Amino acid sequence: MELLRSKLFSQFPQIVFGMSTKNGGVSDPPYGLNLSIGVGDDPDNVRENRKRFFNALNIDGTRLAFPLQVHSSQVQDAHTPGRYINTDGLTTDKKEIYLIVSVADCLPVFLFDPIHNAIAGVHAGWKGTDQKITMKMIQLMNERWQTDPSEIIAFLGPAAGVCCYEVGEGVAELFSSEFKAPQSNGKYHLDIPAVNKEQLISAGVKIENIEHENFCTICSNDRFHSYRRDGNESGRMMGVIGLRG
Ligand SMILES: [Zn+2]
């Protein structure tokens, strides 16, 4: 199974972190290592894929906190494992609660406050990014755990890149010109990871504390799932972060 790890998070032994790719699952093509139910894949295969993914990270599958993502900027804290409706970001300072972010083109953002031992996971598509979900999460961490942004370690995972992520004028006009490239067809290529990185920095996160796995999901060939590329037959990847008990 091919997993993405974080160089920055791996310096902290209490952190468990990993992101899946498309590789290493039991599902038939095009799904591969799909970790999401309800995207057209065989549920038994998804269960087996999840088991393999969480086993590879030595995570107890009953200790997961799932946000039921809706492309919002709603964030909340997770005191127990379970499903959290209408939310696109979870944070906790509890041990053995593993926060999930599920993606196929949207940007997964993971945060760690090593001073207060608090973690967060954020799902940032263009809507959440426009509504500054990453900054809202930092604000919530500050309220809940007294997190100082200058102490935060951040990881940005693979997402639709500026090389491929085409949007119309209506979406493009929400973002400042440094984050979009006009195309000859009148549309724009948008750089969602760069916007989130900028939001982290303006919230006070140090640039050297931001790790960015700058892979484009759309042109990754078969390394990552991409909804834009594969449409209704696209699987989903998961990133997970937790504090070991
Ligand atoms: Zn690309």
pLDDT digits (tens, 9 = 90+) for 56-84: 999 999 999 999 999 999 999 999 999 99
Domain containing 190: what range? 3-243
Q: What is the DSSP string of 7-36?
A: TTGGG-TTEEEEEE-SSS--SPTTTSS---
**153 forms bridges with which residues in the sheet?**
112
Tokens of 178: 């440094």
> What Cα–Cα distance (Å) separates residue 217 from each residue in 48, 55, 162, 187, 195?
23, 25, 11, 20, 17
91-115 per-position pLDDT tens digit: 999 999 999 999 999 999 999 999 9
pLDDT of residue 245: 85
**What pLDDT is attached to residue 2?**
94
Q: How many angstroms is it from 208 CA to the middle of ligand 1?
A: 25
Q: How far is the CA of 162 from the centre of ligand 1 (A)?
A: 7
Give residues whose Cβ lies within 5 Å of ion ligand 1.
Answer: 161, 163-164, 216, 218-219
Separation of 223 CA from ligand 1 center, angstroms?
12
Measured in Å, residue 136 CA sits from the centre of ligand 1 at 28
Q: How far is CA 120 from CA 27, 57, 97, 131, 184, in A?
A: 29, 18, 11, 18, 39
Here the CATH number for the domain that contains residue 150 is: 3.60.140.10
pLDDT in tens, 129-184: 999 999 999 999 999 999 999 999 999 999 999 999 999 999 999 999 999 999 99
Q: How far is the CA of 59 from the centre of ligand 1 (A)?
A: 32
CA 161 – ligand 1 centroid, Å: 5
Which value, to the nearest 10 degrees, does the dihedral of the CA atoms of residues 209, 121, 164, 128 take? -110
Please tell me the predicted confidence (pLDDT) of residue 169: 96
Strands 107-113 and 118-124 come out as antiparallel
Query: What DSSP designation does 102 have?
Result: E
| Residue 164 pLDDT | 97
pTM for the model stands at 0.97
- Pairing mode of beta strands 107-113, 153-156: antiparallel
Helix or strand holding residue 124 (H, E): strand 118-124
Ligand 1 centre distance from Cα of residue 215 (Å): 8
Ramachandran quadrant class, 96 (left: phi over 0; alpha: psi -120 to 50; beta: rest)? left
φ, ψ of residue 226 in degrees (nearest 5) = -145, 120
Q: How many separate domains does the chain show?
A: 1
Which residues 6+ apart lie within 8 Å of 4 measured at CB? 18, 19, 20, 21, 157, 158, 213, 239
DSSP summary character for residue 41: S
